[in-house]
Structure 1
Amino acid sequence: MIKKLFCIGLLSIMLISAGFAQNKPNFINFINQKHAWVDSVFNTLTPKQRIAQLFLVRAHTNLGQKYIDSVKQVIEKEQLGGLVVFQGGPVRHANMFNEYQKVSKVPLLITFDGEWGLGMRMPDSTISYPYQMTLGAIQNNNMLYEMGRQVARDFQRIGMHFNFAPVVDINNNSKNPVINFRSFGDDKYKVTAKAKAYMDGMVQGGILASLKHFPGHGDTDVDSHHDLPQLKFDKTRLDSLELYPFQELIKDGAPSVMVAHMNIPALDATPNIPSSISKKVVTDLLRKELGFQGLTVTDAMDMNGVKKYFPRGEADVMAIEAGHDLLEVSENSGRAIDLILKEIRNGRISQASVDARVKKVLAAKLWLGLNQPKVVNTNNLYQDLNTPSAQSLVQRIADAAVTLLKSERGLKRFDPKRSTSIVSVGIDKAQDFEKGLALQLSDFEQFFIKGNETEEQLKELMKESKDNRQIILVIHDNRSRPRSELELNDATKEFVDKIAGRRTISIMLTNPYALNSVDVMRSSSVLLGYQNDFFMQKAVLKALLKQIKPEGKLPVTISENLKNGDGI
């Protein structure tokens, strides 16, 4: 009886919180109106403290207590607006948030890069949802909305308010080193629809979401963490492709847009100027032309893409001059605040404009309920962030993404009673797929190929693996950020091409672009699992064992014979 009452009470709390989130006022309208709480807080702040509300400082709990304490001192001294949270653990993070909020005159806005949920920064202790490229294969976008709602619950439980997601970049460059698998795909309409579902789930769940990376980072071959990418497209091309998701989702009420560090001469001909600190991009294009009235935020200001050509705080000043509401991870926030205050006094930056942005940030905090700050309760935090329902959702999404690229015939012929060779490439011991498959087979041999074997070694493996009646070739990519090219030597690639014959069912647990690294399309059937995580390994195993029907479709064009939308 007690357990039943607890469940009813928990359900009531969830329904009340869900109703509250859905009944929140429209965010864009709200932050552009006057509010008594905003004015009262604004009036307590010094000129420096007002500017400080526009800054988000880096926060970690995996770098030791000394680092945590040093950030606390900066927050207390400068009274910054919020945090950008990086690696650490959920309980340590929650304790850190509680400590930082205590020394903040104005409640901190706590932000996070959670494109695939909390697991993007805390993979060992929280749930990771599938990458956006994997989500791009799913045909039911309601699942992305459901994921957005769950991500919002997780954020609220740990005490965070703002997710820098979804990525709406259209990845039409297979060599893209920074977006790639983080994109929903290369079709602007599908990218927009999926981003809307994810965004709506988060916002209706009560947190903020941010479209990124404006004006579109999908067709670059330079990582802006390391250098300044250049887009040489004309305005017509940008309007028709890169800007499309932003245009449509701004109409649908996107709360925030993150602006990338890219040099785009068609938008601003100033030499080496990143889009993130260009007034022509932030104010003229995003604000005036596209009519965006939400929060703009820079990509991280400590990235080489912005600080390389505008060092020593000049980039921070230019970001404010360009029209931004929030600056993410300044190299030196204290220096930047002093420089901005100086430029306000010199007339370079308008005091009224800065004040309006400060009030907008404060209004966002009010919309989030930060006028009534809450201490994060760490009791059962780990369990609350790893619920069975959330884990079930991850698996349902993974199951829905599995894509059959060639012929059901091989899958239909697969028989667990036949002698089987399991040939696993890219690993040196059994992972979840191999362990699960082994439990189903009565007669099998397991072969592991790391990818650096010699031609002679692989010839011997070829002979042994062909002794069995059916072959399961499974290619793993164990890298935490799977790239377009597999890290296999030429001998291994040649081995894969040869063994992927008519008796073989090939399974790719890789970035989809990796289909260009090896030739598996000669196989009797080809299953694509998009990433190597345990939930995708389980999903492709279920497809192999005919427990689910593969329903995913390619979200990108791989080659002339493998195009966006393909899948049997």
Structure 2
Amino acid sequence: MKKIPAYEIAKNSLPLSEKVGQFFMPAAFINDTEEDIQKLEKLIQKHDIGSLCFFHSKASAATNYEGKKEVVYNKNSLETLRKLIERYQSAAKYPLLIAIDAEWGLAMRIENTPQYPYAITLGALQGNDQLIYEVGKQIAKDCKAAGIHWNLAPCIDINNNPNNPVIGYRSFGENKMNVVEKALAFVKGTQSEGVLTSIKHFPGHGDTATDSHLALPLIDKSKEELVANELYPFQKLIEEGVDSVMVGHLSVPALARGKMDSSSISKEIIQGVLRDEMGFNGVVISDALNMHAVSKNHPGKGDLEWLAFDAGNDVLCFAENIPEGIETILKNASTDQIDESFERFWRLKERALQTLTTNSNLAMGKADTRPKPNLAHQLNRKIAGRSLTLLTGDPLAISKFFSLNFTGVKNSYTIENQFFNLIQEYKKFTSKAIGETLDKNEENVLLALFPPQVKPANNFGIPQKEIDLINELLQTRKVVLYLFGNPYVLNHLSIEKAIAVVVVYQNFTEFQEVAANHFRGKIKASGKLAVSIVQTT
């Protein structure tokens, strides 16, 4: 197995072109063609690439996914990933840092791997930071088992815009103290296994209704407001010692002396605010440079890569014009500028590889261990029991409701309704779909709502006709509602007359089991909603 030279050796032995090559983190796709795999191998060899970021497939990468390209699922993606890591590492002159977005586990990118709860679910936990630490730890173990060194997580954006199309459920909530507490536990858990993290999306992507994959969001706030809120989690985690900060594609004129450019290519924001004012001396990584927030505005090959590097990014994620980017950086950057970024990145790489290569198989993706679904099940069960949130109503009202005759109603989303099945074991009731006629005597309704998607587009995937029928039930029947999804769904529902509303957050088996036990009065709901619900209906 190749060994990474110590920084003291590398700084003098690598020519500038190889140092610049280390700054590039192209996308690697798990379900690529052999032709594309060979192209990436040649790119790694020719340009001394420093790191890779893995995605499921070209169609699932965000700028493509939003275009509705077909995503072909592969149940063997994990094994494919591990073999690809081995190939790409073999092609590299110096060991690659392997990165992935695993905010809620490898399942974010890879089929048939453990999935852990979304950040919005973890944000509901009260005084259970050890569980979040364990989530970070278990995800890190899963990453190591696959040969991954760098989890580009967590999001520490404060999500205070219910219409945010891309952050939302990925945020720990709208309260800055809660975000800091939860994010720090996740980071510490990840670090305990020697896996790197990256807090994102600096300087804060929470308060916008624009998706930066598609366009450049504007954060129109004063610097004082930003320092007090959006920047607060970044400052606190920087003080705790984070591995890297990912800079988002956001127009924040208050931090850029009135300029409207993206934060990812702003010297004022990266050098001025992040480094000089906030004291961050570690690695800065750009958000994906293929995202339309910046790529559409800088079509010249190599231009965007240079602008991102010159602004202060040490790692250029998802750069698509690597030969031209290297050439432009070599042409325009000073030797000192290159050496400063090289030292930051190489020391990070050296530390990560030294930590993880005590077993050389891990570094090459040959580990003989696999992610442990059983451990994920146990952890998810604990989180389900402690995040469950009684938003309106009280336990006595639910207990009384359980003792009555009621009808179970579920929306048309086809996920298996284990919630109803488990309740049926203890009390028989009629189950119907939304839209089926209820008799006059079917006054009591247990409503199980499973939103088809976690993002807010198109009412979270719930047809408007179903939204209308749900609201009719809420207005005309006595309803106990269990929501197995993003709590922001409730902004579209008229819940003021409901006997009780319980937010379960996830539709995992463990969460449905906990919800059934709660309805039966066997457990209490101890979670607290981490975001505000504002009725819009």
Q: When the two structures are superposed, what TM-score results if normalisation uses the length of structure 1?
A: 0.84
Three-state SS of the structure 1 residue aligned to 2:353 is coil
Kept in 1, the 8 Å contact 2:453–2:461? The answer is: no
Q: Are residue 205 (structure 1) and residue 193 (structure 2) matched?
A: yes
Distance apart, 1:199 and its partner CA: 0.8
Asked if the contact 1:482–1:531 (Cα under 8 Å) also holds between the matched residues in 2, the reply is: no
TM-score by length of 2: 0.89
What is the distance in 2 between the residues matched to 1:496 and 1:243? 39
Within 2, Cα distance between the matches of 1:164 and 1:490?
35
Matched-pair contact (CA < 8 Å) for 1:177–1:222: yes
Equivalent position SS for 1:368? helix
Amino acid at match of 1:209: T
CA contact (8 A) 1:509 1:532 kept: yes
Within 5 Å, give how 1:107-506 maps onto structure 2.
Answer: 107-122=95-110, 124-139=111-126, 140-269=128-257, 272-312=260-300, 313-343=302-332, 349-370=333-354, 372=357, 374-375=360-361, 376=364, 381=369, 384-405=370-391, 406-415=393-402, 419-428=405-414, 430-442=416-428, 444-449=429-434, 458=435, 461-464=436-439, 467-468=441-442, 470-479=444-453, 481=455, 485-500=459-474, 503-506=478-481
1:536-547 matches, within 5 Å, as 536-547=511-522
Shift of 1:542: 2.5
Distance in 1 of aligned mates of 2:458 and 2:514: 22
Q: How many Å apart are 1:361 and its aligned residue?
A: 1.4
Task: Tell whether the 8 Å contact from 1:409 to 1:524 is kept in structure 2 after alignment.
Answer: no
Alpha-carbon separation, structure 1, partners of 2:167 and 2:79: 30
Q: Do the aligned residues in 2 keep the contact of 1:423 with 1:473 (CA within 8 Å)?
A: yes
What are the equivalent positions in structure 2 for 1:18-167 lying under 5 Å apart?
37-87=6-56, 89-122=77-110, 124-139=111-126, 140-167=128-155
2:253 aligned partner, one-letter code? P
In structure 2, list runs of 5 or more residues that go unmatched: 57-73
Structure 1 residues 375-429: Cα deviation after superposition (integer angstroms, max 9, x where no partner)? 3465764xx303422221022112211101122123212447x543110024257
Residue 499 of structure 2 is matched in structure 1 by: 524
| Pair 1:72–1:177, CA change in 2 (3 A) | same
In the TM superposition, what is the alpha-carbon distance from 1:540 to its structure 2 partner?
A: 1.7
- Cα deviation code 1:303-334 (max 9, x no counterpart): 11112222222121011111221110102111
AA in 2 matched with 1:291: G
The number of residues matched between the two structures is 506
Distance 1:423 1:430 in 2: 13
1:28 alignment partner in structure 2: none
Aligned CA RMSD, in angstroms, stands at 2.3
**Alpha-carbon distance between aligned partners in 2 of 1:191 and 1:67, rounded to the nearest angstrom:** 40
Structure 2 residue corresponding to 1:514, chosen from 484, 489, 498: 489
Identify if the C-alpha distance between structure 1 residues 180 and 135 changes in structure 2 by more than 3 Å, giving closer, same or farther. Answer: same
What is the Cα deviation at residue 535 of structure 1? 3.4
**d(CA) in 1 for partners of 2:120, 2:89:** 36
Cα shift at 1:204? 2.1
String of CA shifts for 1:157-180, please: whole Å, max 9, x gaps. Answer: 111111111111111111111111
How much identity, in percent, do the aligned residues show? 33
Runs of at least 5 residues in structure 1 that lack an aligned partner in the other structure: 1-34, 344-348, 450-457, 562-568
